[in-house]
Structure formats: structure tokens, C-alpha cells
Structure 1
Amino acid sequence: MQFPFVRTVLASAVAVVSSLAQAQQVAALPSVTITGNYDNAIGTSDVASEGVVTSKLLASRPTLRPAEVLEFVPGVIVSQHSGDGKANQYYLRGFNLDHGTDFATTVDGMPVNMPTHAHGQGYSDLNWLIPELVDRISYRKGPYYASEGDFASAGAAHIQLFNGLPRGLASLTAGENGYARALLVNTTPLTTGKLLYAIEAAHNDGPWDNPENFRRANGVLRYSFGEGDTRSTLTGMAYTAKWRATDQVPQRAVDSGAIGRFAAVDASDHGDTSRFSLSYDLLHALDDGEFKLNAYAIQSSLDLFSNFTYFLDDPVHGDQFEQSESRQVYGLNTSRSWQTTLAGHDSTHTVGLQLRHDRLSPVGLYAAENGQRLSTTQESRVKQTSVGLYASNETRWQPWLRSVAGIRTDQYHVDVNSSIAGNSGRQTALINSPKLTLIFGPWDKTEYFFSYGYGFHSNDARGVTATISPKQGTPIEPSPALVRTKGAELGLRTEIVPGLQSSLSLWQLTLGSELVFSGDAGDTEASGASKRYGIEFNNHYVANSWLLLDADLAFSQSRFKEEQGDAPNAGRYIPGSVRTVASLGATVTGWGPWFGQFQLRYFGPRPLIEDNSQRSRGTTLAYARVGYKVSPDVKLSLDVFNLFDRKASDIDYYYTSRLQGEAAQGVGDLHSHPAEPRTVRVTMNVSF
């Protein structure tokens, strides 16, 4: 098979490296220390909904789960419908993002989203993240950035880790329901650099009637070296976890008293996962710009047993299924930027190359009973390669006008070898995505933004080549490899009120289709084109030296362009799409020896089926932290999750299931995973 685009990309890569070799070096880069909670000042962003959260704020707010660091991104909600070792559920801009589709996440340049995943396309498991190591989170929303590719249509979050900590940290946490966590972090100076190491172990049973017995072991080694115009880091990570899962349960079983809210219908659901990675980062300053290089290798695995419909499909053995995969990922990101003039105006050009190869050996769906595999539904060996080439230009045309224009080209190639012969095959797809942003101002400490751009998301490789439904054995249509998305946004950012940073965004996003590969069924769930639009209003106010107030509000409307679903419940509502999200916070630092934080977050009712006849309730949860600095080296903190002990849901679904003794056709019902009740944890941090 010919790959003319790949040849073009490789030629461009040679040109980039050649330009690096020919450029002259400059003096040492100055070190910068960020002491604020946000790095969102006027002139730092290309879009109003873009921003940076620093470690100062990250350290002040309690998190129930590691992935909740993403809730620092305004408008993002993180929840869960199963065990602590499984990827979380994410919501943003009218999306139920499932486990990560359409929201791209990276950690030190390594992608978190996993395409063609056993459980769901774009699966983003962040349970291996150690929050104390996060230096900053840079977030973006919308398809307006040339450097953002797959999964980034709704937004992207780039998590950057510390190269080192000024002091070592030993942390011990104990809480209700068997929760315990120990963390040791330290930085050791070496002759040629410094070495950061971190070791974490945790256990949790949770409030579930069937104790979760979640066990996590985690480790990080990070070697940073070089100074002046060339700096590098080499990072190794290792993570493993096991758990028993309590998935969503049918409301009728809870109402009848057959089970409690925290019970499991199938107590044999469980999972185990692992992740190992090695990554390298290089930043090289040149006389006219900079060169960046990031390379990574990841090996991960997942084995997950679930049962959502109980006895609907198989009244004898039950409907439990196993999803399993073993994956290797190799990737390279590189870019070259340089400053010049364009028609006499200051201008910055950037070209970049992104390569990624996923190898799954195998990825499979199996029938199971009582936590044991019974038979193979479909097992595949998949090779998936993506190549992205992008270019962008930023030019300041006037003191009050600058533009950011870009284009990227992506090629995807998939090779699927399935246990079902009709589902094997190869496919190559190419897509181009132009972008444009105009920034006006600042006037009176206020900037105005207009953004327009095209993006895309990929579909599961198995759905791209499939012609036969794995469970039913009936013919199906293959799904497109790449789906077009298109967005537009008007916004402003202002600091006109002293101490207050505010941003306002009016946005719209359309998707060519919302085709999603269902790992639970082994085939593609077809749905049509969609349109979303909304408004976001974000505020960060430094009331005084020890008090920060936050208020983030988001409203969105989500509809299919044509009616979807089966009669008589066909409609245009998108199941799971969130209309209203609000987050209010108050952070206290340095009030004598005291510190603390209060966070209230709300995500509103959602349609659960296409005609909107079944809806979830809204969920309001509050977190709180009270801390005391015993000495310069010792801090104690008390964290309370679900402060007001609300009986709320982390997630709701509406579908048909069958309990033992019910009619063969099953019962359509609300299925919910409850939010954890009020939970208290105590932490002691010792610096050394």
C-alpha cells in the first residue's frame, strides 16, 4: 500500500531537523516561577476558553479520584459508574464524553486517550496520575488549534509534571470504608541533573455492599538534565490496580427493596489493569525560536468483567461479558517554531509532526459467567497508525489585532485481523482541518476573540472494517474511519475589575455523526449528525492575599439534526447531554496557620433517551477541606466529600434489562450509579 502523505511528512521531518542543525544557539533561558492560581492574563491566550491552572490551586482542592484534577477545567464534570480502577465518565460542552471520546488528554506529551479500546473509543484512564506531581494543566476547548488532533473537538487538557520538588514529601491518608493511601516523593540532585522519584500505594473498599477492595500501586522516576538553551527529561512510570466493581443498578430493584442503592446485581464484576511507560522530552532554544521533541512508549493492559443487562440476552448463564486488551503504543511529537516578519509585522511560524502507532494483541469481547470467561464473541489483533502534520502562523497586524491561522492534515491507517473473518480488513483515511482565530484588543484590559475551525474524531478500527455484528451475526455497514467536526466561537476576556479575571464564550460545534463503537456489544452504535451550542462564563477573583473565589457557569443545547432512536421514542435529544454545569469555590491559603477550600459543583438533568421522555435528575455535590500547619514541616488536613450527604447519582442511564423471574423481553428502566455518601479523610503531609 502506498503512503504519499507519509513520505511528505518524513521529508518535512528531515527539513525540521536540518533547520535545527543550522540554527545558532542563544543565551540561557530565564527561569520563571509561577505563584498565582491561574496563568490566564491578558495576552496569554488565543481563545477566550483557553487557560492554565497552576500547582498552587491544584494543591489546595481535595479530589476524591485522581481524574478529578480535570474538574479544574471550567465546565468539566468527572464521575464514575463502576470501580475505582476503571476510567471515569467525563462531561463537557453538552457531551457525555463517555470515558474520554472528544476530549483529548495528555500527560507530559503522552496521550491518555486510547483508540480501539476494549471498553470504549478514546478510553482515558487517569487513575495512574499522582496529583501531587502535577505542575500545571493547560486546557483548550473547540477545534481551533492546529496542534490538536484526534479526540480534541470538545476540548483538550495537557497535564505537565514537576521536574523536581524543592523539598521531599511524605503523605499518609486514612478515611472511612477502608481508605488508606501512602505517598513518598523526593528529588535527588545528580552530577548532570536531578532525579525525582515517587512511590504511591492505596486501598479502598468504598461504601458498596460488595467491598471494592481496590488496590493501587504506582511509581514514577523522572530524570531532568541540561540547562541554558537545551533541557531534557526522561520519565518512567509504572502502575497496577485490581478491584471489584459495583456498576449501575436498576431503579425498580432498589424501589422494591430487593437490593440497596450501594448493592450489585452481579457481585462477580471485577477488573484489573496495568500501565508502564517511558517518555523523553527535549526543548532546545534557537536564535529565532525553539525546537521541541517528545517521544514515548507505553504498554498497558485491561481485563474487565461487567454485566449491565443481567439475564436479558442469556437467561441461563446471564449477560456478563469480559473486555480484555493488551496494548503497546509508540509515538513521536516534534515541532519547530521561529520568529520572523510578515509584510513588516511580527510573526511566528510553527510546523509540527505527530506520529502514533498502537498495536493490540489482542483486543477482545467474551461471554462470561461468575467472573470467568465462557466463550469468544470477537477477538482481534489490531495495528493502527496515525500521522499528523500541522502548520500555524501567528501575526500581530496592529497593536490591537493579531491572527492565528493554521491547518493540519491527518492520515489514519488501520489493519484488523478478527476472529470473525468478515470483520477483518484494512482501511486508510485522510482528512484536512483548517483553523482561524482573530484576537482584538486589549482595550480597557479586555480582549475579544473570534475562532472558527474544523476538527475530527476517529472511530474504533473494528467498526471501520466490520461487516458482521459479533453478537447477532447479521450484516452491518462499516463506519467511517474519521468523522468531521466544525466549530465556531465568540469570546472575551477581561481584567477590568481589579483582582478579577473573567471570560465569556459563545460557542457552536457540529459533528458529522456520533457513531460510537460499543465495546459492550462489539459493534458500532449508529447515530446521526448533531449540533451543540452554548455559553460559558468563568470568573476567578483574588479577594485578598489569602482568599480566592471561583465561579464557573456553562449552559449548552445539544440536538441531533434529524430524529434518532426507535419509534415510538424517536427524537432529536442526545442521551446524556448536559445542559447546565456550575462550579463555585472558595480557597483559603496562608490565613495564619490555617488553609482550606470549599467547592460546590452542579451538573443538571439530562435526557436519557432520544424523545426526552426519560430524564436524569440534577446532581449537586460539595467538597470541603480544613487544614492546619502544625509546623513548617507538618500539615494536617481534613477532607469531606459530599459534604451535605446528598443522595445523588454519579450517572444515570435508561435501557432494558432483565432480572431473574422477569418477562423474557425485559423491562425498560432507569439504571443509576450512586454518588458516594459523605466521606471523611484525614491527611498528614510531612516535608523533609
Structure 2
Amino acid sequence: MNLLKRILFIQLLTISTTFAHLGTIVGKITDSKTKQPIRGANIVLTGLNRGAISDDAGYFQINNLSPAPYNVEVSFMGYLAQAQAVIVKADEASVINFILTSTEVSLEEVKVSAANPQHQQVISNIDIKLRNINNSQEVLRIIPGVVIGQHAGGGKAEQIFLRGFDIDHGTDIRLTVDGMPINMVSHAHGQGYADAHFIIPELIDGVDFKKGLYDADKGNFSTAGWANFRTKSVLDQNFVKAEAGQFNTYRLVGGANILLKKAQDKNQNAYLAGEYNYSDAYFDVPQHFKRLNLLGKYHGHLSANTNLTFTASTFWSKWNASGQIPDRAVADGSIGFFGAIDPNEGGETNRTNLNAQFVTLTKRNHVWKNQFYYANYNFELYSNFTFFLEDPINGDQIKQKEARNLWGYNSNYSIAHGIGQKQATFNIGVNYRHDLTNDSELSHTQNRSELLEAIKLGDINEANLGIYADENIQLSNKLTATVGVRFDYFHNQYLDHLQTNTKSKAQASILSPKLNLYYTQNNKLQLYLNLGKGFHSNDTRVVVAQNGLDILPPAYGADFGTNWKPFPKVLINAAYWYLWLQQEFVYVGDAGVVEPSGQSVRSGFDVSVRYQLTRNLFADFDANWAKPRAVGEAEGQNFLPLAVKFTSIGGLTLKNKNGFSGSLRYRYVGDRPANEDSSIVAKGYFVTDALLSYTKSRYTLGLNIQNLFNTRWKETQFATESRLKDESQPVEEIHFTPGTPFNARAFLQIQF
């Protein structure tokens, strides 16, 4: 026994001696022009499969290195690669900084790396740098597989479809901007309502996204995936842009840095930006759509190791809408394809945001991020989906209205460390969000002005606390793993003003483990397996009705895919995925009722291809197949209504810094069932868009054309039972909002 103890002691002494007196490389990567940190840059040690990825503040760290000289290479798409030599000393942190210079985009620069598990993010970065983004809708379409549709006059949040989900306006996709939530819990119109129109497209610096429920730091709404829009911390140039087009459409947007160069040289930056839109649109009843966005942003150092980013913005929008019209009314000539049954639909909304983000590099080279945010939000919408079905005299117009305050706090503490000679990063964090909604209303109205009946009216108090931890570790030169777990707790309260102010409360919690594995054969081929548990969240009005039982039904998902560069200028991402949901209690905001949907299963295949044909010509192709089904229903009666089965987008993009640029792009959505037995079918569409621009150092002149070939298509479709004023019996059929016809807009942008 004593001999065994001695052997164990000698082994432990040998191990501790082997890994003692190791060193660390710590660095930061910044843009030479803006002086801002570059996130997502790929850092490798020449000749070794050791590396890291720069974080949101541009920092990176490589641990447990034997004392020796090393060559550190840094690359990032759109920048010239750079290498520096550094000598690592025992028990010390060797500091090295990189200042990268921008250059033309080249797919040859994209490397498949074991240190970079963000396989889908590479696609997004390419698209952001190549495509001209003209509106908030185009921003969402950057995510491969996302289909969106507008059906209420341009001011309402888009309908979203992804991975066999009809996500409605955001129920199963988590959308944020600079880490601040876009989705609205327990919204008057529907759970997860996500109006992203307060984002000014020209200010977008990048989009982080991932499909599936595999990230421990992402909780509510992330069943099908998540996306975070990052706005610029500093403007490359001041700019003013004016647009004018068909259907009495006008847009003016601009932004300017407001601090002097002396302050900018000290890493203090601030800018102001604004946007105004007006359009009557292509409907027979003019939209009179108006939207105003204002934003101010500051980014600078509070101390040598702490950065502050503070954003304040406000948004206001008002519009009329033609709504969804029935096929039969168009077929018999009662109205035109762009007509309306109830011309009094429309709405008004506004949102004001405050967002403060702190990033601190501690003395131990740990990164601590803290975020505080607040939003004041107001919403009022008038709709009529069934016309005269419920009220043959006054019609079925409804009003949905709410006033909301929400605030929250996010914190993440990140420790880059080593396990043996293996690179690892440990994250621990907390998310807290609290929503207080006053007078959430569903009413029966007429002509927007007359209240006929109050259907729902109450105050909503909803809080969500999430705690998570994950460990990312390079298990070998080729295998990387991320293991995480998340705990979510919800507290819900509803004060019903129509039931003598009856107050109902409920609470629930859920634990969600995650596992992500990445096998990198070389810098051209990576395989990955993602496994995770999440949940489908529910409206407070559902939660209290269920007394808190079964209101966080679990969801289980898996992705098996590859990130592959068969040739230097070709990048392919492909994945097979599977998702199972136990239950969904859906609060139907348009009717004020709760509908259980039962178990569901979805599976499918995604593929994305990016190909650089020449130095300036790029091709892209995305195709997404899905098989969504209800579990426990008879075959042929188990379709999930409106879930998209097949979609594809792609096109050609010509990108020149000074000279002609342009793109020719298509969008295709296949036919899909509109009800459970597919007796009613929502027809697909194929639409082509084009963009041509000419750029010089101080200005850009361009022409943007939607629906180049003037295809007649239906942007959103629903199987709805309705009755027109002269009908004795209701009819269930497709009701739709028409997509834009040929629509040309010219623009001029001046940089200074």
C-alpha cells in the first residue's frame, strides 16, 4: 500500500512539474481605420493546431504554452492577414496586439478552424460584407432558411418561417440587437412579437446567428434558433442617403460622428443617426406609411481595461393596411388583387431604448461583460380577418393595444484557461428580464373609433431569470467540445380588469443541458454534432390559466453537419437536423383563447454554398428542406399548417469598391399545406430582385428593383373562415396579402 502511495505521489509530482512554468499569450485585435476591436478573428500558432477567436472586445488568449518563440497568425475576412513573432516566458503573460487593415473580400481568407466553432456565422459574415442591405426585412433574410412576409401595411412585425415552424411574429426565434431583446413576451398580438423596424439597416455591422437550441446563454424563444444584430460602434464615414421610388415612396437616412479626431485618437467615439420613411405602397387603399428612427451611440474607455458602449434610440411608426383578402373576392371581381375588404385596418407603434454595455479585462486576463437595458414600448393595431363572420351588422374588426416597460440585466464572466496543454474557455452568466405591461387589450371595434365589446383587458407582470455555464475545450488537435447547462425560472402574474381585477399568479422552471462537438480534419473540412434541450415558452395568459403546469414544455434537438472548403474559393455548410416538442399552449391574440397543439416533430436538411467566381463576382445558394408533422394524428391529418417545406434563395453579386456593383437575386418558396389535412394549399412563389450601383470615393448612386419580372405572388397566406357582407354562409379558403409588383427605387448616398 505504501508502494502504491509513493507511485501515485511520483506521478502527480511529474504531472505538476510538466505543466508548471508555462506561459500565456494575451492580445487584442483592432481595425486600423476605426480603432475598434475586431470580433471573430482567427488566431493560430504557426505549425501548431493551437489558436483562439477574438471576443466582442477584440481580446484573445492562448494558455499553457511552453517557454519558446512562437509565430502568431491572425486572419479575418475582409482584412489583410498578419503575423507577428512573440517569445513566451515561463509564468508570464506575453502581450501582443494586432492592427488589421481592410481589403477586398476573398473566400480564400476563410479558414475552417478547430478554434472557431461558429460554423454558420461564417456564412453570415460573407453576406453582410457582400450584400447591400436596404431594409429590416433584408436583414432577416441574411439568415439561411428564414422566410418572412409582411401582411399588415409595413408597420407590423413580419411573419417568420424557419425549420418547419410558422413562427408567427417571433414565437420560436430569439431576436436581439446588441444583446437587447426584440421579442416581446405576452404581447397583445401574440407571444414573442418581434418588431425589428427600429434597426437602421445602414448601421448594421454584423449578424450573429445559429439555428437550433444549442447555446447555453440563449434561453427564451430560441427553439428554432437565434439572431443578434450588431450595430456599428463607430461610423467609417459620415453619410447622407436619399431614396425615391414608385408608389410615392421616399426615404432619407444619415449618420455623423460627433467627436473630434483628438477624442477618437483616444478611443472615444460617438455618432448620431436618423431615418425617415414614407410610402403609399402598391395597394388600392394608400398605406400612408410613416416611420421615424433616431439613434445615438457612444463607445469609449472608462479606464485602461474597461469599455463602455451606450446606445439610446427611439422609433415611431404609423400606417394603414389592406389586410388579408379572400381568394373568392378577387376571383369574382369584387376587389382587385391589391384591394381591401376593410379599408380601416392599420396601426401605430413606438419604442424607446437605452442600452449600456460594459466590457472589462481583469488583472487575471478574464473578460467580464455586463449589460443593462430598458425599453418603453407602445402598440395599437386594428385588424379584420373574418370580416362579417361574428358580427354581420358591424363587422369583425378588432383592436389590440398595450403599453409596456421592460428592463433587464445580462452578465457573462469568461475565463480562458488550460487543461493540461489543451486550450479551454469557461463561461458563467446570468440573464434577467422583467416586463410590466399595462392595459393589454383585445376589443371588438368599428372604424377604429367605436368600441363595441371588450374581450380581454388586463395588466401583465412577467419576470424571467436565467443562469448558465459552459466550457469550451480543445480535446485534441482536431476535436473541440462545448458542454453547457442552463436554468430558467419564470414568474407570471395577470390582473384581469374584466373580472373585478382578479389577480392570478404562476411560476415554473426548467433545466436545459447542451453539447456541441466539432471535429476539424484540416483547414478545409469540419464536422459537427450539436445536441440540446430547450423549451417553448408561453404567454402569461396561458400560464395562469394552466396554474403554471406544463407551460414550459421541453424541446429536444440535434444537428449533424459539415463546414467544407473543397476548393479555395468555395465554402459549403450542410446539416441534417431534428427537433421534437412535447407541447405548445398557444395564446391566440386575435381571439383571446388558448389552443393546445400537442406534440410535434420536425426534421430537415439545410445547405448553403458560397462561391467566388472571380475577384469581384460572387455566387450564393441556400436550400432548406423540412418535414414538420403533428405526433399522434392520423397520416394525412398531421400536417402543421403554413409550415414551409422547401425554400431556396440565391444569386450573383458583383462587388467593386470604386465602380459598378450589383446583384441579381431570387427567392423561392414551395407550396405548403394551409390546414391539417392539406385540403387547402398555400401556393409558393419565385421572385427575382436586382440592384445596380456606381460608387466613387465620395458618393454612391444606385437603382434597386424588387420583383424584376413583375410576378404576381402572395406574400402571406392563411386558411381562414370568413363571411363577406352579402354572404349567408361562411367560407374557409386562402386569405392573402399580395406581394409587391415591379417596384423600382433610386438612391444617392454621399460620404464625407
Q: TM-score, normalised by structure 1?
A: 0.91
Quote the offset at 1:167 in angstroms: 1.2
Identify which of 690, 703, 708 aligns with 1:643. 708
The aligned counterpart of 2:735 is 671
The aligned counterpart of 1:379 is 457
The aligned counterpart of 1:331 is 408
Quote the offset at 1:41 in angstroms: 3.8
Give 5+ residue unaligned stretches, structure 2. 1-91
Confirm whether residue 311 of structure 1 aligns to residue 388 of structure 2: yes
The aligned counterpart of 1:340 is 417
Identify which of 613, 618, 624 aligns with 2:690. 624
Provide the rounded CA distance (Å) in 1 between the counterparts of 2:444 and 2:102. 52
Identify which of 686, 694, 718 aligns with 1:653. 718
The aligned counterpart of 1:225 is 300
Quote the offset at 1:558 in angstroms: 0.4
Indicate the SS of the match to 2:387. Answer: coil
Provide the rounded CA distance (Å) in 1 between the counterparts of 2:676 and 2:724. 25
Identify which of 185, 191, 194 aligns with 1:124. 194
For 1:681, give the aligned amino acid: R
The aligned counterpart of 2:275 is 200
Provide the rounded CA distance (Å) in 2 between the counterparts of 1:107 and 1:158. 5
For 2:331, give the aligned amino acid: D
Provide the rounded CA distance (Å) in 1 between the counterparts of 2:715 and 2:145. 16
For 1:643, give the aligned amino acid: L
The aligned counterpart of 1:256 is 332
Please list the CA deviations of residues 72-122 of structure 1 after superposition, one character each: whole Å capped at 9, or x if unmatched: 111111211111110001111111111011111110111001110011110
Indicate the SS of the match to 1:571. Answer: coil
Identify which of 552, 558, 561 aligns with 1:482. 552
Confirm whether residue 541 of structure 1 aligns to residue 611 of structure 2: yes
Confirm whether residue 463 of structure 1 aligns to residue 525 of structure 2: no
Indicate the SS of the match to 2:197. Answer: coil
Question: Relative to structure 1, is the Cα distance of residues 592 and 347 closer, same or farther in structure 2, using a 3 angstrom cutoff?
Answer: closer
Identify which of 53, 62, 68 aligns with 2:124. 53
Question: Relative to structure 1, is the Cα distance of residues 377 and 34 closer, same or farther in structure 2, using a 3 angstrom cutoff?
Answer: farther
For 2:507, give the aligned amino acid: T
The aligned counterpart of 1:473 is none
Quote the offset at 1:45 in angstroms: 4.3
The aligned counterpart of 2:484 is 406
Please list the CA deviations of residues 224-259 of structure 1 after superposition, one character each: whole Å capped at 9, or x if unmatched: 111753221110001101000111100000000001
Question: Relative to structure 1, is the Cα distance of residues 304 and 231 closer, same or farther in structure 2, using a 3 angstrom cutoff?
Answer: same
The aligned counterpart of 2:665 is 599
- Range with bigger deviation, 372-381 or 28-37: 28-37
The aligned counterpart of 2:221 is 151
Question: Relative to structure 1, is the Cα distance of residues 262 and 29 closer, same or farther in structure 2, using a 3 angstrom cutoff?
Answer: farther
The aligned counterpart of 1:608 is 674
CA contact (8 A) 1:47 1:449 kept: no
The aligned counterpart of 1:529 is 599
Confirm whether residue 586 of structure 1 aligns to residue 649 of structure 2: no
- Range with bigger deviation, 453-462 or 335-344: 335-344
CA contact (8 A) 1:94 1:577 kept: yes
Confirm whether residue 427 of structure 1 aligns to residue 540 of structure 2: no
The aligned counterpart of 2:699 is 634
Q: TM-score, normalised by structure 2?
A: 0.83
Provide the rounded CA distance (Å) in 1 between the counterparts of 2:576 and 2:477. 25
Indicate the SS of the match to 2:236. Answer: coil
CA contact (8 A) 1:25 1:229 kept: no
Quote the offset at 1:371 in angstroms: 1.2
Please list the CA deviations of residues 417-454 of structure 1 after superposition, one character each: whole Å capped at 9, or x if unmatched: 01243974101100000000111123361011011100
- Range with bigger deviation, 458-467 or 130-139: 458-467
Question: Relative to structure 1, is the Cα distance of residues 378 and 658 closer, same or farther in structure 2, using a 3 angstrom cutoff?
Answer: same
- Range with bigger deviation, 30-39 or 283-292: 30-39
Question: Relative to structure 1, is the Cα distance of residues 638 and 246 closer, same or farther in structure 2, using a 3 angstrom cutoff?
Answer: same
Question: Relative to structure 1, is the Cα distance of residues 546 and 199 closer, same or farther in structure 2, using a 3 angstrom cutoff?
Answer: same
The aligned counterpart of 2:440 is 363
Provide the rounded CA distance (Å) in 2 between the counterparts of 1:465 and 1:498. 56
The aligned counterpart of 2:84 is none
Confirm whether residue 416 of structure 1 aligns to residue 482 of structure 2: no
Provide the rounded CA distance (Å) in 2 between the counterparts of 1:358 and 1:480. 22
Identify which of 542, 545, 563 aligns with 2:633. 563
Question: Relative to structure 1, is the Cα distance of residues 414 and 617 closer, same or farther in structure 2, using a 3 angstrom cutoff?
Answer: same
| 1:231-250 alignment runs, 5 A limit | 231-250=307-326
Please list the CA deviations of residues 479-502 of structure 1 after superposition, one character each: whole Å capped at 9, or x if unmatched: 743221110111110113111111
Quote the offset at 1:49 in angstroms: 4.0
CA contact (8 A) 2:473 2:482 kept: yes
For 1:128, give the aligned amino acid: F
Indicate the SS of the match to 1:496. Answer: strand
| 1:16-27 alignment runs, 5 A limit | none
Confirm whether residue 97 of structure 1 aligns to residue 167 of structure 2: yes
For 2:310, give the aligned amino acid: L
Provide the rounded CA distance (Å) in 1 between the counterparts of 2:689 and 2:147. 14
Quote the offset at 1:362 in angstroms: 1.8
Please list the CA deviations of residues 376-400 of structure 1 after superposition, one character each: whole Å capped at 9, or x if unmatched: 1111101100000000001111101
For 2:727, give the aligned amino acid: E
Indicate the SS of the match to 2:208. Answer: strand
Indicate the SS of the match to 2:536. Answer: strand
The aligned counterpart of 1:273 is 349
Question: Relative to structure 1, is the Cα distance of residues 538 and 228 closer, same or farther in structure 2, using a 3 angstrom cutoff?
Answer: farther
Provide the rounded CA distance (Å) in 2 between the counterparts of 1:359 and 1:437. 36
Provide the rounded CA distance (Å) in 2 between the counterparts of 1:513 and 1:51. 34
CA contact (8 A) 2:157 2:194 kept: yes
Larger Rg: 2
Percentage identity across paired residues of the two chains: 31
Confirm whether residue 84 of structure 1 aligns to residue 160 of structure 2: no
Indicate the SS of the match to 1:253. Answer: helix
Please list the CA deviations of residues 324-354 of structure 1 after superposition, one character each: whole Å capped at 9, or x if unmatched: 0101110111100102233553221100100
Indicate the SS of the match to 2:329. Answer: helix
For 1:60, give the aligned amino acid: R
The aligned counterpart of 2:579 is 509
Quote the offset at 1:634 in angstroms: 1.4
Indicate the SS of the match to 1:562. Answer: coil
Quote the offset at 1:194 in angstroms: 1.6
Quote the offset at 1:363 in angstroms: 0.9
Quote the offset at 1:628 in angstroms: 1.3
Quote the offset at 1:537 in angstroms: 0.8
Provide the rounded CA distance (Å) in 1 between the counterparts of 2:749 and 2:651. 23
Provide the rounded CA distance (Å) in 2 between the counterparts of 1:176 and 1:455. 45
Indicate the SS of the match to 1:462. Answer: helix
Identify which of 513, 522, 547 aligns with 1:443. 522
Indicate the SS of the match to 2:171. Answer: coil
Provide the rounded CA distance (Å) in 1 between the counterparts of 2:140 and 2:424. 33
- Aligned-residue RMSD, C-alpha: 2.2
Question: Relative to structure 1, is the Cα distance of residues 279 and 55 closer, same or farther in structure 2, using a 3 angstrom cutoff?
Answer: farther
Indicate the SS of the match to 2:566. Answer: coil
Question: Relative to structure 1, is the Cα distance of residues 55 and 221 closer, same or farther in structure 2, using a 3 angstrom cutoff?
Answer: farther
Indicate the SS of the match to 1:151. Answer: coil
Identify which of 253, 262, 283 aligns with 2:359. 283
Question: Relative to structure 1, is the Cα distance of residues 350 and 34 closer, same or farther in structure 2, using a 3 angstrom cutoff?
Answer: farther
Provide the rounded CA distance (Å) in 2 between the counterparts of 1:40 and 1:418. 55
Question: Relative to structure 1, is the Cα distance of residues 588 and 570 closer, same or farther in structure 2, using a 3 angstrom cutoff?
Answer: closer
